[in-house]
């Protein structure tokens, strides 16, 4: 297939060269006729040249649809020999200056045809040239020569051209063989280069880490698939400055190798953290052409590190709580009892009674803190069983709806539950405690009203439940420490509710985290392991239906108890 393609290229190229040569010769002969008297039969010469043009155009058209390139090459060579003989005859025979066209045709035959055909072409050229000279010499056809050589001189001319044609054929075959050999080597080298380039591109595109190359000015020249997925971009970043992609300055390339961490803000996602390694793109002999940036996504790793640090702090606080809670509660009970006895004295003034009420109220608040301390620090007993997360959510949200309506808070609850059932292995009461705590925090964050959106979806082997509010949101520092004790951002909160939630989720081998931005609301995300396969929700409108009175009453008691245990 490759040789056929090459022959087509050569044929097309030689046809074009033929047209150029014909035009040049045509112009030269016409100029000679005009400038000097010549026996050239102008009408016959013009007719011959136009016929040669027509044959060239015919071969160009024939090349476009005929696949027999070898046969077409033979036809072109034979046709050219005949036309050259006619032109030589019209321009003077032995006086013609165009007999050099015979060697050109022989060279073409050496390029297009095998070596045997090249020698046959030289022999045919010798025969045709000799026939033209003999026919002119013996006046069998009219001669247009200005001289009349002797017979021996004519024979010398014929045999000199014979040896010249054979020499041209021999040398042209050697050069054509070298040309074919170089062409084959070039194709092999080109194929190896293409294979190497394809391998290079495959390696770059199959890398799990992101890779970006830039020129010396810092403009991006290449982005692999992993980098496009991490950055959420396409080829539109090509040509832009690499420093525009990240929030932090990239590592310096002053040294041969540098690394660092930078932050990246996707268009519709939360901020990511990348570890970037930069190297200079140094090509031998050309110097430094740019930089190569390789990077990995450390967002999940940094979140896990924060969780580990938070667990360490929670464990330390738990040990502290276990040590001091009992020591504080005993004198606190004595203080509360004494104050209660003093409040019954009749001779106390109103100011004194108000002070006693303050002492009683603060003692109760301190007792609640100690109670949460103990709930947080003591080992919890879990009763794992098959539960339906959809039913637990409906119980919690229905109770919350009635409370919001009664208090006229202006908060609306929007359900986005994609499944009718969501089976999981969990402690139902503890999971309700988690749900209720998330709802309580959302309500506190939306003092002026808003929307609480609760969604349920399946992510791989887990159920993912999102509690998204439209409140005031939190800063990045607050979000990082939200599950640590004493981090409550609400007035009157103990700051232990979400810490207890974190313990419950860890006991269920689940995951919980928060996403938040200032003035854009907060989203608490909970993931629990699926049990079986969820049943899709057939009727989206059924998400807003209320439960029966019996279910509501039962759910109210359970959730209220959970709310008392997880407030703050």
Question: How far is CA 251 from its chain centroid?
Answer: 23
| % pLDDT > 70, the chain | 84
pLDDT confidence of residue 524 = 93
Residue 387, pLDDT score: 93
Average pLDDT (175-198) is 81
Question: Rounded to a whole number, what is the largest CA-CA distance in the chain?
Answer: 165
Domains of the chain in start order, with CATH, are 2-187 (no CATH), 210-297 (3.30.450.20), 303-377 (1.10.287), 385-565 (3.30.565.10)
Which of the pair, 3 or 139, is modelled with greater confidence?
139
What is the pLDDT averaged over residues 314-333?
70
Q: Is the pLDDT of residue 187 over 60?
A: yes
Tokens representing 328?
Answer: 């504080």
Give φ, ψ of 89 to 5 degrees. -65, -45
- Residue 321: the pLDDT is 67
Residue 464 has pLDDT above 90, yes or no: yes
The mean pLDDT of 29-52, rounded to a whole number, is 77
Residue pair 248/258 in contact by the 8 Å Cβ criterion = no
The HSE-up count of residue 118 (CA atoms within 13 Å, CB side) is 24
The residues, ordered by sequence, that sit 6+ positions from 193 with a Cβ below 8 Å of its Cβ are: none
Q: Please, which pLDDT band fits residue 203 given cuts at 50, 70 and 90?
A: confident
Share of the chain above pLDDT 90, in %: 11
Label the pairing between strands 411-417 and 450-459: parallel
pLDDT (average), residues 478-486: 78
DSSP string, 220-235: EEEE-HHHHHHHT--G
Query: How much is the pLDDT for 378?
Result: 60
Angle, vertex CA 286, rays to CA 284 and CA 287, nearest 5: 80
Average pLDDT over every residue of 347-362: 76
φ, ψ (nearest 5 deg) of residue 403: -65, -45
Distances (CA, A) of 9 to 16, 81, 175, 189, 252: 11, 22, 18, 20, 52
Whether residue 526 is predicted with pLDDT greater than 90 in this model: the reply is yes
Which range scores top for mean pLDDT: 40-54, 131-145, 246-260, 407-421?
Answer: 407-421
Is it the case that residue 541 has pLDDT exceeding 50?
no
10 pLDDT band (50/70/90 cuts)?
confident
Reading the block at residue 33, the tokens are: 């006729």
pLDDT digits (tens, 9 = 90+) for 429-448: 899 999 999 999 899 889 88
Q: What's the pLDDT score for residue 469?
A: 93
When pLDDT is averaged across residues 289-309 and rounded to a whole number, the result is 84
| pLDDT at res. 546 | 32
Whether the predicted pLDDT of 278 surpasses 70: yes
Q: Per-residue pLDDT averaged across 73-92, rounded?
A: 85
Mode of pairing for the β-strands spanning 535-536 and 521-529: unpaired
Mean pLDDT of the chain: 79
Q: Tell me the C-alpha distance between 15 and 19, whole Å.
A: 6
Give the mean model confidence (pLDDT) for residues 385-406: 91
pLDDT confidence band for 254 (50 / 70 / 90): low
d(CA 501, CA 438): 9
Q: Is a pLDDT exceeding 60 seen at residue 563?
A: no
């Amino acid at each position: 297939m490759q040789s056929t393609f090459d022959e087509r290229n050569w044929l097309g190229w030689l046809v074009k060269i033929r047209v150029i040569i014909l035009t040049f010769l045509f112009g030269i002969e016409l100029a000679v006729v005009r400038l000097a008297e010549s026996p050239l039969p102008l009408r016959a010469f013009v007719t011959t040249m136009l016929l040669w043009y027509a044959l060239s155009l015919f071969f160009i058209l024939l090349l476009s649809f005929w696949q027999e390139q070898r046969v077409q090459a033979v036809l072109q060579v034979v046709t050219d020999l005949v036309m050259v003989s006619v032109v030589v005859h019209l321009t003077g025979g032995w006086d013609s200056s165009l007999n050099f066209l015979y060697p050109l045709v022989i060279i073409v035959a050496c390029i297009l045809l095998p070596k045997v055909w090249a020698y046959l072409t030289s022999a045919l050229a010798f025969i045709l040239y000799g026939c033209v000279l003999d026919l002119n010499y013996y006046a069998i056809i009219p001669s247009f020569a200005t001289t009349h050589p002797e017979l021996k001189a004519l024979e010398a001319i014929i045999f000199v051209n014979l040896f010249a044609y054979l020499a041209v054929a021999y040398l042209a075959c050697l050069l054509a063989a070298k040309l074919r050999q170089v062409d084959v080597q070039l194709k092999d080298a080109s194929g190896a280069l293409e294979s190497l380039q394809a391998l290079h591109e495959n390696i770059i595109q199959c890398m799990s880490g992101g890779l970006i190359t830039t020129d010396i000015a810092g403009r991006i020249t290449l982005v692999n698939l992993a980098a496009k997925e991490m950055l959420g971009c396409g080829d539109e970043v090509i040509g832009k400055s690499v420093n525009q992609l990240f929030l932090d300055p990239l590592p310096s390339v002053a040294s041969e190798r540098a690394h660092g961490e930078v932050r990246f803000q996707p268009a519709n996602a939360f901020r990511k953290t990348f570890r970037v390694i930069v190297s200079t793109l140094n090509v031998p002999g050309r110097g430094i052409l740019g930089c190569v940036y390789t990077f990995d996504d450390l967002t999940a790793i940094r979140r896990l590190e924060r969780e580990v640090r938070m667990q360490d702090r929670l464990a330390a606080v738990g040990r502290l709580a276990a040590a001091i809670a009992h020591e504080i509660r005993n004198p606190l009970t004595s203080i509360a009892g004494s104050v209660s006895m003093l409040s019954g004295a009749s001779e106390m003034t109103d100011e004194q009674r108000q002070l006693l009420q303050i002492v009683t109220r603060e003692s109760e608040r301190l007792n609640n803190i100690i109670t949460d301390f103990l709930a947080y620090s003591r080992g919890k007993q879990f009763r794992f069983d098959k539960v339906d997360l959809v039913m637990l959510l409906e119980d919690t949200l229905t109770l919350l709806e009635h409370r919001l309506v009664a208090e006229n808070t202006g908060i609306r609850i929007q359900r986005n539950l994609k499944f009718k059932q969501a089976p999981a292995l969990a402690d139902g009461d503890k999971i309700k405690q988690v749900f209720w705590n998330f709802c309580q925090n959302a309500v506190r964050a939306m003092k002026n009203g808003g929307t609480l959106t609760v969604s349920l979806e399946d992510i791989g082997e887990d159920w993912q439940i999102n509690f998204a509010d439209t409140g005031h949101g939190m800063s990045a520092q607050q979000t990082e420490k939200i599950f640590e004790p004493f981090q409550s951002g609400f007035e009157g909160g103990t700051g232990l509710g979400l810490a207890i939630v974190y313990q419950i989720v860890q006991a269920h081998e689940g995951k919980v985290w928060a996403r938040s931005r200032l003035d854009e609301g907060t989203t608490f995300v909970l993931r629990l392991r699926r049990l079986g396969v969820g049943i899709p929700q057939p009727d989206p409108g059924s998400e807003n239906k209320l439960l029966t009175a019996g279910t509501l009453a039962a759910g109210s008691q359970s959730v209220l108890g959970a709310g008392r245990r997880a407030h703050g």
